[in-house]
């Protein structure tokens, strides 16, 4: 079974430190999403990429968050500097879109990175 | 994106059918109805989707009202492993691929 992988699975850090989360999308998928889940806000989309180019990052705090896709097999989400309010579970998902339409009408989610900022 | 309304929680007994409702009165003609679920400590997973006709797959069935203003996800025989939060989401055909999650319905399955 092809799966989305995320590392690390858990991260505890202190306020002010840089945090980098990594995601390996399913091979062949060309669209990658980053979501954040908290008890208060639920699941929210932070950003997403198609063919490694950012399409929408309107959900992401611009001053401290950055998302990139160095290559087709790796997506990164960085927080610098981190703050306690960034504590959440961060999910990566991937999908396949062709010609503006989802080839498969599904997104495949990774297991998430659980981040705690003290 | 059009909004969906789901009950906060539901309970079921193991091996009994479960009907999870979703209201989407402002649905447009090009909106697909998607269901995802999130098991405890896992990422969401796709369950089923449909446009107008009822749909069946190995996980569940989706019954869509004739006016499309509501739908029901049907788990034919609930198991303990079906305990999860179920999300009903509308996605426009040809629109953005992004999913907008609401609060969902937390399903508890009693042994």
Question: Tens digit of pLDDT for each residue in A58-73?
Answer: 889 889 999 999 999 9
B42 chain-A contacts, CB cut-off 8 A: 109, 111-112
Question: What residues in chain A have per-residue pLDDT under 50?
Answer: 103
Q: Is B44 exposed, middle or buried (0-12, 13-18, 19+ CB in 10 A)?
A: buried
Read off the tokens for A75: 């997506």
Given A48, A102, A109, which is nearest B43 (Cβ)? A109
Is residue B55 reached through a cis peptide bond, with omega within 30 degrees of 0 on the bond before it?
no
Which pLDDT score is estimated for A103?
Answer: 47
Which pLDDT score is estimated for A8?
Answer: 98
Given B45, B87, B97, which is nearest A102 (Cβ)? B97
Which pLDDT score is estimated for B98?
Answer: 78
Task: With CA atoms as reference, report the closest residue to A92 among A45, A30, A55, A27.
Answer: A45
pLDDT profile of chain B (111 residues), mean per 10: 88 96 92 94 94 92 96 96 96 75 95 94
Question: What are residue A67's DSSP bridge partners?
Answer: A77
**CA distance, residue A3 to nearest chain B CA (Å):** 11
Helix, coil or strand: residue A95: strand
Q: What is the DSSP string of A24-36?
A: EPPTT--EEEEEE
Q: If you count DSSP H runs as helices and E runs as strands, how many of each does chain B have, helices first?
A: 0, 9
A25 chain-B contacts, CB cut-off 8 A: none
Helix, coil or strand: residue A84: helix
Q: Is B42 exposed, middle or buried (0-12, 13-18, 19+ CB in 10 A)?
A: middle
Mean pLDDT of chain A: 92
Which backbone phi and psi does B80 adopt, to 5 degrees? Answer: -60, -30
Which pLDDT score is estimated for B107?
Answer: 98
Given A44, A45, A109, which is nearest B45 (Cβ)? A109
Which pLDDT score is estimated for B20?
Answer: 98
């Amino acid at each position: 079974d092809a799966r989305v992988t995320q590392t690390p699975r858990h991260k505890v850090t202190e306020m002010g430190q840089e945090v980098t989360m990594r995601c390996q999308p399913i091979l062949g998928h060309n669209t990658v999403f980053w979501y954040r889940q908290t008890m208060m806000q639920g699941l929210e989309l932070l950003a997403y990429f198609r063919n490694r180019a950012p399409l929408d990052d309107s959900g992401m705090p611009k001053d401290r968050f950055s998302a990139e896709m160095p290559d087709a097999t790796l997506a990164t989400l960085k927080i610098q500097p981190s703050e306690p309010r960034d504590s959440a579970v961060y999910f990566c998902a991937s999908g396949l879109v062709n010609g503006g339409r989802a080839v498969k009408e599904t997104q495949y989610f990774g297991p998430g990175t659980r981040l705690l900022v003290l | 994106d059009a909004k969906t309304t789901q009950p906060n929680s539901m309970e079921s007994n193991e091996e009994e059918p479960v009907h999870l409702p979703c209201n989407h009165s402002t649905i447009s003609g090009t909106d697909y109805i998607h269901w995802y679920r999130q098991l405890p400590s896992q990422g969401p997973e796709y369950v089923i989707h449909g446009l107008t006709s009822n749909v069946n797959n190995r996980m569940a069935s989706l019954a869509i009202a004739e006016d499309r203003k509501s739908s029901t996800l049907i788990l034919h025989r609930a198991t303990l492993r079906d305990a999860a939060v179920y999300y009903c989401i509308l996605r426009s055909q040809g629109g953005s691929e992004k999913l907008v999650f609401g609060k969902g319905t937390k399903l508890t399955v009693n042994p």
